[in-house]
């Protein structure tokens, strides 16, 4: 019987902010984690886009990507993802063409269709000018692909004439464009465009199997992507013992539960705070429901579960969202629990 394929591992970072932590400290902790992921051999390090959330500092992926690129030498850096309805396609293309010039051959542009925040913030993001609308999402994907290419795009005026547009003056490479999603729509769109696809399993566990089947069965090959490419995200906490892993998972699990039950959002609790204040029945039911989808345990146990997970959905890469919380005694400008997760998984998979 053949051994199961060992999946490549990547990292998704929302730049979590915990009790008593400043944005400066949260970003410093994530930069430290990016350096460690680079040292350990992780394949990618992506930043998500979220806005106006007390527990999330990843508001601007291109800025964080540039900072991580400057602190790493090998790992691919990118967005997981840029929420296109918030931005004009040319701005996205220019930002990622510039990033590709900063870190040639290491940049991924992951694009999503959700706004990444509430309706008020969505309107504020769109107040500064014309931005991408959800209904125009497919066309704007096409626009970005053309704009970041060395050939650029051509604007044709209804009155006649053409105007050439380039995201950067003299591109020698382009970012690798990925489509992100958690629905049939995103899977079929990625397939139709011949783009690589990521299923956002870390926040949407339903529909994974169907989305992957649709993507693979409907995939249209392109010169850049002759075969379908895909991976899956997952919330992961690894620790030396099951007890510690369960404790470190609790703050983020409770944060997810508060989000789902419309409770006021706040900075992520420390492990000490989460253990000291039991959840009410509704919150606990949400914690239990989410916990069943997470990978929480010792390094060897989580590594084995991730191998089975990758094999089940026929992917050779899993992007982990390291969801380990921090104890109050741990440094505010570091993230020992998340670094420990990365280290234990690599050790177990070698």
Count the helix, strand and coil residues of the chain and give each as a percent rounded to the nearest 5: 45, 20, 40
Contacts 24+ apart (CB under 8 A), 164-169: 165/90, 167/90, 167/93, 167/94, 167/96, 167/97, 168/94, 168/97, 168/98, 168/100, 168/101
Q: Report pLDDT for 115.
A: 66
> What pLDDT score does 1 carry?
41
The pTM score is 0.94
The superfamily CATH assigns to domain 8-239+302-349 is: Luciferase-like domain (3.20.20.30)
Q: Can you give the pLDDT of all 350 residues of the chain as single tens digits? A: 445 568 999 999 999 999 999 999 999 999 999 999 999 999 999 999 999 999 999 999 999 999 999 999 999 999 999 999 888 899 999 999 999 999 999 999 999 987 656 677 777 776 545 455 667 899 999 999 999 999 998 887 777 788 899 999 999 999 999 999 998 999 999 999 999 999 999 987 688 999 999 999 999 999 999 999 999 999 999 999 999 999 999 999 999 999 888 888 899 999 999 999 989 999 999 999 999 999 999 999 999 999 999 999 999 999 999 999 999 999 999 999 999 999 999 999 87
Task: Report the pLDDT value the prediction gives residue 203, as an integer from 0 to 100.
Answer: 80
Which residue's structure tokens are 């000018």? Answer: 129
């Amino acid at each position: 019987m053949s051994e199961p394929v060992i999946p490549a591992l990547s990292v998704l970072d929302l730049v979590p902010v915990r009790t008593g932590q400043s944005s400066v400290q949260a970003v410093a902790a994530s930069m430290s984690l990016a350096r460690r992921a680079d040292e350990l051999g992780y394949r990618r390090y992506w930043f998500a886009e979220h806005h106006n959330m007390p527990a999330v500092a990843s508001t601007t992926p291109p800025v964080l990507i540039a900072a991580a690129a400057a602190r790493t030498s090998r790992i691919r850096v990118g967005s997981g993802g840029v929420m296109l309805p918030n931005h004009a396609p040319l701005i996205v293309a220019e930002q990622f063409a510039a990033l590709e010039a900063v870190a040639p051959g290491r940049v991924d542009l992951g694009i999503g269709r959700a706004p990444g925040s509430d309706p008020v913030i969505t309107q504020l993001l769109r107040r500064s000018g014309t931005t991408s609308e959800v209904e125009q999402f497919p066309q704007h994907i096409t626009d970005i692909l053309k704009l970041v290419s060395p050939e650029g795009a051509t604007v044709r005026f209804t009155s006649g004439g053409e105007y050439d547009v380039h995201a950067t003056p003299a591109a020698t490479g382009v970012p690798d464009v990925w489509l992100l999603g958690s629905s049939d729509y995103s899977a079929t769109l990625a397939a139709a465009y011949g783009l690589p696809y990521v299923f956002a399993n870390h926040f949407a566990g339903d529909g994974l199997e169907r989305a992957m089947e649709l993507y693979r069965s409907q995939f249209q090959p392109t010169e850049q992507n002759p075969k379908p490419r895909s991976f899956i995200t997952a919330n992961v906490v690894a620790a030396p013992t099951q007890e510690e892993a369960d404790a470190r998972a609790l703050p983020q699990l409770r944060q997810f539960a508060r989000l789902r039950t419309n409770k006021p959002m706040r900075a992520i609790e420390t492990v000490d705070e989460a253990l000291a204040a039991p959840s009410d029945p509704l919150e606990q039911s949400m914690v239990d429901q989410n916990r069943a989808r997470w990978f929480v345990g010792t390094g060897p146990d989580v590594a084995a579960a991730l191998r089975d997970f990758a094999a089940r959905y026929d992917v050779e890469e899993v992007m982990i969202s390291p969801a380990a919380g921090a104890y109050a005694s741990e440094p505010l400008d570091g993230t020992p629990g998340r670094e420990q997760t990365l280290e234990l998984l690599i050790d177990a998979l070698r």
